[in-house]
Structure 1
Amino acid sequence: MKFIHTSDWHLGRDFMNYDLASYQDNFLRQILAQIEAHHPDALLISGDVLDKPNPGDADLDKLSGFLNEARQMTRIILIAGNHDGASRLGFAKGFTLPEVNIVTKAAQVGTAIEVPGPDGELGALVYPIPYLSPYQDRAELSTWVDNGGVRHLDDTLKQPASKDDPTPLLAGKPEVLFGAALRRIGRDLERRNTDVPVLAMAHDYLTQVDPDKEVEPLGNLYPIPISLLDEIAGGLKGGRGINYLALGHIHGAYPVDGTEVTAWYAGSPLPYRVSESNEKCTLLVEVDPDHQVKVEKLPLELPYQVTRLQGSIEDLTNPEDSRYQPWHQAFCSINLTETTLPPNAYNRLKAVFPRMLKLTHSQGTLNGTLQSGAEFRELSELEIATEFLRTCGIDTKEDLALLTEIYEDTVGGTEK
């Protein structure tokens, strides 16, 4: 069975007020061409197809137009990410075609999408896990329903001591909800007792977690131990575990180590920050009848590049300097290294690097280390709000994380 895995399109996003609409049209055309060339059994889109809390008509038209073209060539399975929850993908409720499966709610977790094989028989099972909100979705995932329609508590919860006791709920933590989602998948696999390839999809930050070290959130999502896949999903036990996990949220394409399950991030099809790579792709995933997985990167051509530059203003503005010449049209941040800030530095650099997004100045060195100095750029709304809270003495990690979450949900930010 063959699949194309992609994620994090962020339709509607700009790059520090630079319009990216035409560039997003470009990668959508490339993905359609890849579908036509490779004939996958399904296209897996692992979340964050939209970028804003309230997407514009043009972005919804762009997405629905793509789905209508792609569904004529393959089945589509799309999950919601932390940028595009159920309400944002609500326009898709009108899709009743079997070729388009859009999964946005926790209640859908544990229900497999059956992908036919070349002979028309069951070829693979795909279990979508949309982005799970730690508090909004924990009630749903605290229980599960058996084949007879009877609802049970999750395995980690105890039955109430009496009828008067409230129904216990899972802790509002990403790893706890992800574990409950995997248990739902495991139950369905046990019920089916089939040996076809099994794939899952998720929009989360899965990584190796050292219990003795604190891991920072990435793009407002807290880390989930990748070891959960082997502890709960069963790896390849009896051929009935998850063979491939199609991940979204991180904008780089790479495999996640530390698990028997083959798990990959597909990355974003465009670089959306100057710190990102200029190598973007989709993933061609093949799972054979023996559950062996092969993953191949399908490169995407980029209409622009990103970089971070550092040097003296004389070197940076020298049109013949081969270190900087290839980056004149790139979206970039620049750090000047002179001891004193050169006069009219911003305008001189902007003339050479018209897409410069940020300029900083390092004021000399101390023990061979560049010292941070002035920064010249327009602050975002989130940065202004963060600085305001800090001036009020509200600066704990939890406070700032909550501010970022509120900003993402109401305004739309620039995090992963």
Structure 2
Amino acid sequence: MRLLHTSDWHLGRTLHGVDLLDHQSAYLDHLVDVVRSESVDAVVVAGDVYDRAIPPVEAVTLLSDTLARLAELTTVVVTSGNHDSATRLGFGAALMRERVRLRTRVASLAEPVEVGDVLVYGLPYLDPDVCRAELAPVAPDGSRALLARSHEAVTTEAMARVRADAAARAAGGDRRPVVVAAHAFVVGGLASESERDIRVGGVDHVPAAVFAGADYVALGHLHGPQVVGGPAGTTLRYSGSPLAYSFSERHQTKSTVLVDLAGDAPATTLVPAPVPRRLTDLTGTLDDLLGATGEPHVDDWVRVTVTDAARPAELFRRVRQRFAHALVVQHRPDRPDDARERLALVTAAADPVQVAADFVTHVTGGAPTDAERAVLRAAHEHVLAAERST
């Protein structure tokens, strides 16, 4: 059996204002070609298909066309991520053709997609505030006690259901490799700046041991392709995003994972994704950057940091004239370390509560108390709940 593992397409996303849909479309063309040339039995998409809950029409059309093309060649299993609206992504799942299987509902996470000799369990993104009641085990008296408010608790219960289903099948003589698609931040994974913060109660991680019992765990959420150490007999891997969505990802080799499930352990091969345009960080004086230093990068997407002591005249115009694809232009004088202004970079991966706490410290001159932090966290989680209800 051969699977193709991918995730984090983020259809509809932009990069510093640049529309990436054409580049995302090129990647999906490449994906279809790989499925055809490598005789792939199933494609597993581990969440964050869209970049936001209500995606643009063009992104919906691109996904629809891509799924139709893939379904002509193979089976496709798609799960929802933290950027997706599970309800919207899963709309019409019951009407989908047999070879397109959407896994967006908690209630069906222990119902595998049977692909030849493999059982594929698709776990939608498990938001603890949404799932801790639905996933709570039923006591003998019919009551339910809420699970702990954490990613670890809800994922542990989800995997318990997966293992129970696989064990029941094995007891009946149906022993097949188990593949789990999950969208989570597993302990040991390396994050980038472009993944959205998913902390609940201040914690966003899930221990790798939670996934014990699976042969291969197709992970989504982190944008860098990487293997995460897990329990014996279980391979955990992030495929990463197909495109770079921040300058922190500029050194990553974007790829898709071919997984061969034969023998004692899954064998994986990374298939490089097409690179629409390189991302480059350029730092130096304006004269240097406009000269030989910048020459190799005139066609790149660049972040330009100009270090002249005084801000050069017409800085933005001159940089854009040289670098047509400059995404960020900033003036940051080159000063000794003890005189350099120290600024914390705020990215999508930053803890919003910590950002707010830093702001309180900046404005008041003193760090917020534990009680004030609790208020900040409650306010943030109230906003997240409101977003989920839209």
Partner deviation per Cα, 1:172-231 (whole Å, 9 max, x = no partner) = 21111111111111111211114321110001111239xxxxxx99521211122323xx
Q: Within the alignment, does 1:283 sit opposite 2:257 as a pair?
A: yes
**Counterpart check, 1:330 vs 2:304:** no
How far off its partner does 1:20 sit?
1.5
In the alignment, which residue of structure 2 is the partner of 1:200?
180
Instruction: Provide the residue aligned with 1:33 in structure 2.
Output: 33
Q: Which residue in the other structure is 1:349 paired with?
A: 319
Point out where structure 2 has 5 or more consecutive residues left out of the alignment: 199-203, 346-350
More deviation, 63-72/48-57: 48-57
Alignment equivalent of 2:146, drawn from 137, 154, 169: 169
How far apart, CA to CA, are the structure 1 residues paired with 2:271 and 2:318?
39
Pair 1:366 & 2:346 matched: no
Instruction: Determine the C-alpha separation between the residues in 2 that align with 1:374 and 1:339.
Output: 22
Q: Secondary structure at the match of 1:135?
A: helix
CA distance in 1, matches of 2:214, 2:54: 34
Which amino acid is 1:257 matched to? G
Deviation by residue 1:280-331 (Cα, 9 ceiling, x = unmatched): 111100011x43111001111111121222111111111x33xx32322322
Deviations 1:115-167 (A, max 9, x none): 12xxxxxx011111110111111111112xxxxxxxx34xxxxx67xx8xx63
1:93-108 equivalences under 5 Å are 93=93, 95-108=95-108
Counterpart of 1:359, as a letter, is: V
Match of 1:138 in 2: 132
For structure 1, the 5+ residue unaligned runs are 117-122, 144-151, 154-158, 210-215, 234-240, 376-381, 412-416
What letter matches 1:265 in structure 2? Y
Q: Hey, what's the Cα distance between the residues in 2 that align with 1:199 and 1:270? A: 25
SS in 1 for 2:25: helix
What is the SS of the residue equivalent to 1:140? coil
Give the whole-Å Cα distance in 1 for the aligned partners of 2:379 and 2:145. 29
Residue number in structure 2 paired with 1:224: 206
What is the one-letter code of the residue matched to 1:294?
A: A
For the 8 Å contact 1:282–1:298, the answer to whether it is kept is yes
Q: C-alpha separation between the residues in 1 aligned to 2:125 and 2:300?
A: 33
Q: What residue in structure 1 maps to residue 162 of structure 2?
A: 185
Letter in 2 for 1:243: D
How many residue pairs get matched? 360
Amino acid at match of 1:109: L
Residue of structure 1 in register with 2:201 after alignment: none
Superposition map of 1:12-411 within 5 A:
12-93=12-93, 95-116=95-116, 123-143=117-137, 152-153=138-139, 167-193=144-170, 194-208=174-188, 219-221=196-198, 222-229=204-211, 233=212, 241-260=213-232, 261-277=234-250, 279-288=253-262, 290-318=263-291, 320-321=292-293, 324-367=294-337, 370-372=340-342, 390=359, 396=373, 398=377, 402=381, 405=384
Change (3 A) 1:184 1:387: closer
SS in 1 for 2:304: strand
Contact 2:243 2:275 (8 Å CA) reproduced: yes
**What is the DSSP-based 3-state SS (H/G/I as helix, E as strand, rest coil) of the residue aligned with 1:251?**
coil
Counterpart of 1:245, as a letter, is V
Distance of 1:408 and 1:139 partners within structure 2: 19
How has the CA–CA distance of structure 1 residues 308 and 248 changed in structure 2, closer, same or farther, with 3 Å as cutoff?
same
Question: Deviation of residue 360 (structure 1)?
Answer: 3.2
Distance apart, 1:365 and its partner CA: 3.0
Question: Which structure carries more helix by proportion?
Answer: 2
Residue 338 and residue 406 in structure 1: after superposition, are their counterparts in 2 closer, same or farther (change >3 A)? farther
**Does 2:25 match 1:4?**
no
Distance 1:66 1:183 in 2: 33
CA spacing shift, 1:217–1:340, aligned 2, 3 Å:
closer
What residue identity is the alignment partner of 1:227?
A
Distance in 2, matches of 1:407 and 1:175, equals: 23
TM-score normalised by length of structure 2: 0.83
1:389: Cα distance to partner? Answer: 10
More moved, 194-203 vs 360-369: 360-369
CA contact (8 A) 2:93 2:101 kept: no
Distance 1:360 1:37, change over 3 A: same
User: Measured at CA, do residues 409 and 362 of structure 1 come closer, stay the same or move farther in structure 2, by a change above 3 Å?
Assistant: farther
> What is the rounded CA distance, in whole Å, between the counterparts of 2:386 and 2:209 in structure 1?
31
CA distance in 1: counterparts of 2:255 and 2:246, whole angstroms: 16
Over 3 Å counting, the alpha-carbon distance change for 1:5 and 1:401 in structure 2 is farther
Greater Cα shift, 396-405 or 293-302? 396-405
Q: TM-score, normalised by structure 1?
A: 0.78
Distance 1:259 1:179, change over 3 A: same
TM-superposed CA distance for 1:353, in Å, is: 2.0
- For 2:305, give the aligned amino acid: N
**How far apart are the structure 2 equivalents of 1:217 and 1:345?**
27
